[in-house]
Every structure is written in structure tokens, then in C-alpha cells.
């Protein structure tokens, strides 16, 4: 099992945030990312929204980063840890620009970029950016194919409904070969079919832990899946929030578990096919207490799980 470090104040989600996190600054996050790397965490994942309609702020907050820019910054502040997103909203961003941004960050970081793409769910956000919400799945599939073409081909060309290019040069290519790992976020059948076709990992959201194994079987049973190694990320705090960022009221998903409880829960996730997890921020009073807790997780929990 690999561990993702939950970096405070990446968003202001009512269902998942404690009051002290509101005071965490970018400088604090930089120091915490470096400490997470020292402690042996494997990954930091950055959530994203481009713009939040005011009517959603009570549940979702207004504080969201651009995932790729934040990943690139955190890569520059660290030396080893992998930087992912959770998720990058693919249909809202032109694939030529997205491919260039991620390739740039991968090249500069020596090959430490990953990306989790999702199709988005907030219709008003699409309207504000002039992207047709009902076509977002088709747009995402086309954009994904175009990005992979740019990353992997010496003479890339693509002809689609939403993006086309030919007679272009795209350099530098990413360091990682054949390209940086692509994961897919989301729980619908369409998202999982997209993962089977394009991805090497799945970032769960609404799927319950006991249903993960069946959903992984669904992915690997698709004709597009070619047997490639496949990762699954499920954080222990994921089920605290439901569709539309509504709190679920699932008290068992709240943090503060004992070592034995954490080891048992993570072991169960492993049996369901999960390869990455995160331990949510427990009831602490600030950055230093959270870093102390994170050290405890890596010393007492990580060595005792599969």
C-alpha cells in the first residue's frame, strides 16, 4: 500500500475541513510537502475547480487551485514525491495547453508528474467557460486521445470533432515513458470504461469500499483493457462527502481511529484491490500537530499494512 499525503487547505470543503485549516498558507503547504517527502509519503494529489458558482460555495467553498500549476510548484519544492491531481477537469481545458503544461512539469521535475482526469459535474462551471456540459464525456475521450498523441508521437496529428492538429512539433516530450501515468476519477460506468481505455489507475469518489473490487473487475473486463498494471486510490475520508459535496453523515469515515482500527481498515482496502490510500486529517489544532500525526502514520501504520 502506498500513502498519499492529505495537504491541508487545498480546498474549503465543508464536509471535510476543520477550522484551523483555513489559516494554512501556501508557505505552510510548501513546508508540509517537504516534510511529507521526508517522512516517506508517496504522493500528493491536488483537487481542482476553475470557478465556483456562488450558489455552491456553502458546500464546496471558493478556494480551489489549478491542479497542474500547483503540481508543478510542489514538484519544484521537493525532490522525490510524486505529484498527482484529484481531479483535473479535462473538458474545461484545451488539450494542447494541458499536454504542454503537464509535459513541461514532468520534464522539469525529472519525471514526477501524474494526472487524474475527470469530466466534471458542475454544470454552471461549464456554462461560465463556454463548454457544452452534455458533451463533456465525448470531449474528454477526444482530448485524452489527443494528449497521448502529443506525448508519444514524433509527428503528432489528430483529427476530431473538438480538436484537430497536423504538421506540428511538440517538444519537450515528458520524461516518463510512454507518458506520465494517467488515472481517471469518477464512479460511473462511462468513467470506468474510460479508465480501461486510457488509464493505469482509478481515483474513487462515491464508490463504497466493499464495492471497489467489483468495479475493478468491471474495468479489467472491458475489451480496451490490455492487462497493463492498474492502481486504485481510495482515501479513508472519501466517504465523508457525497455527490455535489453534500456531507454524508457517515461518522465511521471521520478520522481519529486507533492504530489497530487504521491497520484493519487499510488492510480491508488492500483486499478490495486498493493500492493507494490516505489517512484523513484527524482532530488536531494546527500544522505542527498534524505533522506529528503524519509521522506517527508513517512509523506505526505504514509498516504494518500490506
pLDDT reading at 179 higher than 90: yes
For 120, 200, 204, 242, the CA distances from 233, given in Å and listed in that order, are 18, 11, 6, 17
Element (H, E) at 203: strand 201-203
Which residues neighbour 158 within 8 Å (Cβ) at sequence distance 6 or greater?
Answer: 145, 146, 149, 164, 165, 166
Per-residue pLDDT of 42-66, as tens digits, reads 999 999 999 999 999 988 899 999 9
Across the range 15-36, mean pLDDT stands at: 94
pLDDT of amino acid 18: 87
pLDDT reading at 242 higher than 70: no
Across the range 160-164, mean pLDDT stands at: 98
In order, the DSSP letters of 207-270 are --GGGHHHHHHHHHTSTT--S---EEE--TTGGGB-GGG-B---GGGSS---HHHHHHHHHHHH
Residue 125's closest CA among 183, 57, 205, 211? 57
Across the range 139-144, mean pLDDT stands at: 98
Amino acid at each position: 500500500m502506498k500513502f498519499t499525503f492529505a495537504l491541508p487547505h487545498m480546498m474549503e470543503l465543508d464536509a471535510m475541513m476543520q477550522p484551523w485549516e483555513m489559516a494554512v498558507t501556501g508557505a505552510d503547504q510548501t513546508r508540509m510537502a517537504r516534510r511529507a517527502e521526508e517522512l516517506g509519503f508517496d504522493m500528493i494529489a491536488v483537487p481542482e475547480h476553475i470557478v465556483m458558482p456562488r450558489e455552491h460555495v456553502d458546500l464546496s467553498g471558493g478556494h480551489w487551485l489549478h491542479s497542474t500549476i500547483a503540481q508543478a510548484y510542489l514538484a519544484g519544492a521537493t525532490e522525490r514525491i510524486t505529484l498527482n491531481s484529484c481531479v483535473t477537469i479535462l473538458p474545461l481545458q484545451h488539450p494542447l495547453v494541458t499536454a504542454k503544461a503537464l509535459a513541461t512539469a514532468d520534464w522539469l521535475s525529472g519525471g514526477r508528474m501524474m494526472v487524474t482526469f475527470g469530466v466534471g459535474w458542475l454544470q454552471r462551471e461549464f456554462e461560465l467557460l463556454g463548454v457544452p456540459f452534455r458533451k463533456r464525456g465525448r470531449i474528454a475521450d477526444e482530448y485524452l486521445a489527443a494528449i497521448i498523441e502529443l506525448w508519444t508521437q514524433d509527428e503528432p496529428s489528430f483529427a476530431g470533432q473538438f480538436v484537430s492538429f497536423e504538421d506540428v512539433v511538440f517538444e519537450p516530450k515528458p520524461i516518463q515513458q510512454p507518458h506520465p501515468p494517467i488515472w481517471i476519477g469518477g464512479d460511473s460506468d462511462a468513467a470506468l470504461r474510460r479508465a480501461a481505455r486510457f488509464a493505469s489507475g482509478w481515483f474513487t469518489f462515491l464508490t463504497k469500499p466493499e464495492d471497489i473490487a467489483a468495479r475493478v473487475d468491471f474495468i479489467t473486463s472491458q475489451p480496451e483493457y490490455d492487462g497493463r498494471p492498474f492502481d486504485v486510490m481510495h482515501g479513508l475520508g472519501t466517504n465523508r462527502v457525497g455527490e455535489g459535496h453534500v456531507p454524508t453523515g457517515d461518522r465511521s469515515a471521520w478520522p481519529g481511529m486507533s492504530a489497530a482500527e487504521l491497520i484493519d481498515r487499510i488492510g480491508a482496502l488492500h483486499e478490495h484491490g486498493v493500492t493507494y490510500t490516505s489517512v484523513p486529517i484527524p482532530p488536531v489544532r494546527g500544522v505542527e500537530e498534524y505533522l506529528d500525526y503524519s509521522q506517527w502514520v508513517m512509523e506505526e501504520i505504514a509498516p504494518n499494512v500490506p
